[in-house]
Amino acid sequence: MILGIETSCDDTSVALVDDQGYVKTLVSVNQDGVHRPFGGVVPEVASRQHTEQLLPLIDRAMTDAGIEWSQIRGLAVTSRPGLIGSLLVGVVTAKTLSLVHELPLVGVNHIEGHLLAPLLRDTSYTPPRDFAFPYLGLAVSGGHTHLFKVEGPGQCTLLGHTVDDAAGEAFDKFAKMLLLGFPGGMRVDQGAKDGDPKAFAFPRGLMHDETLNFSFSGLKTAALRQIESMDPHERELHKADLCASYQEAIVEVLIAKLEKAARQTGLKNWTVTGGVSANSRLRSKAAEAAIRRKAVLALPPLKYCTDNAAMIALAGLYKMRLGQVSDQELTPSASSLPGDWLTP
Ligand code: KG4
Ligand code: ZN
């Protein structure tokens, strides 16, 4: 049994995962309510929340699962990338628990956690039959939009990434422009339900260039111009169309690049993870693309897509098997480290 700790942004999360990747328990505290008045995540507030929440959450996870410390074989903690103050709370806590309980410690890259999430299992989820390494992994969240070839734990090749905003950030900023509230992605998704995705012709950044990179800043500017050209009544009237068209511009590019990567690599196993993979349009378009290309698509349940400690525990389990344990020198880092990814 591995205990996983995730505190890289604004979710405090603790999980117990066994050596088969089976999630015994996953408990999280979401800070959305705390950050909402500020319209975005405030780093100082986030780290203070983690400080208050983490130890009680660890106690709760152990009690819920009926697990004693003597049954734990290792500690996995997100050590990068993320908000440095938030990461620090998780890393210092994990290092202390490692000393107290004499347990091996593993620092995990948060994005690698997202990429491995489809391999988790529990009473109601198992990965699709035949889904295995190597696979294409699209990690889309508020902080990252990265496309990988995942050949195994520690063997992720970065094929493409956003050159400016992350997809989730683009959703959140648009929601702010339309005064939909925070966090924005889910509200845009809901707002788009009755809208026409063709109503507004928003730009598809880098859609037809030769790379597997993404760009969402042009889309954001175009949407801002469009919204500023409308009076409040018009905005309200066309809200659903604006949401649907904006969402479509993001989803279309994500799927186009996923399919392009599939053509280039020949990979028939795909996964889409990270908070934005909760998006209903992205989920249905990814499923359609997988059928079209006869690919196996793993879409983990939302609790494993958004930031969570189960994916960190699983990544830690793999690393421990590879002997890649950390020591008390482990320090958090705001960005990924050289060597985290292979290059094509
Ligand atoms: O992975 P995650 O929980 O945290 C980060 O590592 O960033 O992702 C959060 C992001 C936010 O930008 C949020 O707006 C977005 O995921 N998101 C969505 C949806 N649900 C969450 N974006 C689009 N549609 C959704 N339904
Ligand atoms: Zn994340």
Of all atoms in ligand 1, which is nearest to the CA of residue 114? 1
Compute the distance from residue 308 Cα to the ligand 2 centre, in Å: 8
Give me the pLDDT at residue 219, please.
96
269-273 sheet: strands from edge to edge = 155-161, 145-152, 135-140, 269-273, 296-298
Give me the pLDDT at residue 40, please.
81
Residue 9 CB partners (closer than 8 Å, separation 6+): 41, 46, 82, 83, 86, 142, 143, 307
- Report the alpha-carbon distance of residue 81 to residue 144 in Å, rounded: 10
Compute the distance from residue 247 Cα to the ligand 1 centre, in Å: 13
- The residue whose CA has the least distance to atom 9 of ligand 1 is 275
Residue 118 CB partners (closer than 8 Å, separation 6+): 127, 131, 135, 271, 273, 298, 299, 300, 304
Nearest ligand for residue 110 CA: 2
Residues near ion ligand 2 (Cβ under 5 Å): 141, 307
Q: Helix (H, G, I), strand (E, B), or coil: what is residue 89?
A: helix
DSSP letter assigned to residue 206: T
- The candidate with the shortest Cα–Cα distance to 15, out of 89, 125, 85, 113, is 113
Nearest ligand for residue 302 CA: 1
Among 189, 273, 276, 336, the mutation site with the greatest number of ligand 1 atoms within 8 A of its Cβ is 276
Tokens of 327: 């020591």
| Per-residue tens of pLDDT for the chain, all 344 residues | 999 999 999 899 999 999 999 999 999 998 888 888 887 888 998 999 999 999 999 999 999 999 999 999 999 999 999 999 999 999 999 999 999 999 999 999 999 999 999 999 999 999 999 999 999 999 999 888 999 999 999 999 999 999 999 999 999 999 999 999 888 999 999 999 999 999 999 999 898 899 999 999 999 999 999 999 999 999 999 999 999 999 999 999 999 999 999 999 999 999 999 999 999 999 999 999 999 999 999 999 999 999 999 999 999 999 999 999 999 999 999 999 999 999 88
Report whether 8 contacts 105 (CB < 8 A): no
Among 32, 111, 180, 186, the mutation site with the greatest number of ligand 1 atoms within 8 A of its Cβ is 186
Report whether 45 contacts 70 (CB < 8 A): no
Report whether 50 contacts 14 (CB < 8 A): no
Residue 184 CB partners (closer than 8 Å, separation 6+): 171, 172, 173, 174, 175, 176
- Whose tokens are 């890289």? That residue is 8
Nearest ligand for residue 278 CA: 1
3-state secondary structure string across 119-184: HCECCCCCCCCCCCCCEEEEEECCCCEEEEEEEECCEEEEEEEECCCCHHHHHHHHHHHCCCCCCH
Beta bridge partners of 42: none
DSSP letter assigned to residue 101: H
Write out residues with Cβ below 6 Å of ligand 1.
Answer: 9, 141-143, 168, 171-172, 183-186, 189, 274-276, 278-279, 306-307
* pTM for the predicted model, two decimal places: 0.94
